[in-house]
Amino acid sequence: MLTMIDGLPDHVIGIRINDKLRAEDYETQLIPLVNAKLERHPKLDLLCCIDGEWKGIEAGAVWQDLRLGLGRIGHWARMAIVTDIKWLENAIRLFGLFSPGELRHFNSTAYAAATEWVCERDRASIGITLDAGTGILTLEPVTDKALSEDDFEVVGKTIGDYLQTHERLRGILIHSRRFPGWQSIGALFAHLKFVNRLHEKIDKVALVTNSPVGTFADHVLGPLMLAKIRQFDDEERAQAMVWLQA
């Protein structure tokens, strides 16, 4: 059985599950609500609380579950699953690496933290500085926090806004002593989509890092982009900026 959680921001869908999920729950409550909210928001967040021992899904509801998940795969941003069921906790840890958006588990005692997380508005964890005079964008990922889809959305919007009044972006300087990596497969896909959408409008990309990822980007991403890509060691940030401005 499924009941809705009220009092959440409009971009968040809150559901509480107990007993067995039925196809009727999806058809009459969840799917119409998701469709209505997607008319107002490009992405949605989910707060799902599973009370007690979950008794699974009816056969007819399995199709609805797949339809809701796969049919809207690009529209889920954050998903918080609140449960004390151990096997579900382990499953969430595994599937969190492959799921669209960001999937996290919370114990029932951490309901408030789960709610705060899915309701959060300012989500990017990457430093962004755009010098409109030189046309150079500086990105500084947080070293100990993996890049998320939210980071690429904010960077993409910054570049998109700049390109509305400028023909090209002169260069991007990415500075991270130890590249933090990607939060999930979804974040990696967001990165590749970002590159595919904007690479024709960028002249140069300087990677200032001691991470092996810098070498990977230089040799692997380089042939895929029209922009010139060059790696610099962490202490060579000044030289990287000179190269971008040349």
Residue spans per domain, the chain: 2-119, 126-245
Fold of domain 126-245: 2-enoyl-CoA Hydratase; Chain A, domain 1 (3.90.226)
Greater model confidence, 15 or 94? 15
Q: Given a cut of 70, is residue 59 above it in pLDDT? A: no
pLDDT digits (tens, 9 = 90+) for 152-163: 888 888 888 999
Contact indicator for 168, 204 with CB cutoff of 8 Å: no
pLDDT > 90: what percent of the chain? Answer: 21
Same fold, 2-119 and 126-245: no
Predicted confidence (pLDDT) at residue 28 exceeds the cutoff of 90 = no
Res 109 pLDDT > 90: yes
Instruction: Please state whether beta strands 2-4 and 12-17 pair in parallel, antiparallel, or not at all (unpaired).
Output: antiparallel
CATH 1.25.40 assigned to domain 2-119? The reply is no
CB 231 within 8 A of CB 210: no
> What is the C-alpha separation between 221 and 215, in angstroms, rounded?
10
Q: Where are the alpha helices (DSSP H) in the chain?
A: 23-25, 31-38, 59-71, 86-95, 111-119, 149-163, 185-198, 212-216, 237-245
Residue with tokens 């130890």: 178
- Report pTM: 0.59
Nearest to 193 by CA among 182, 204, 179: 182
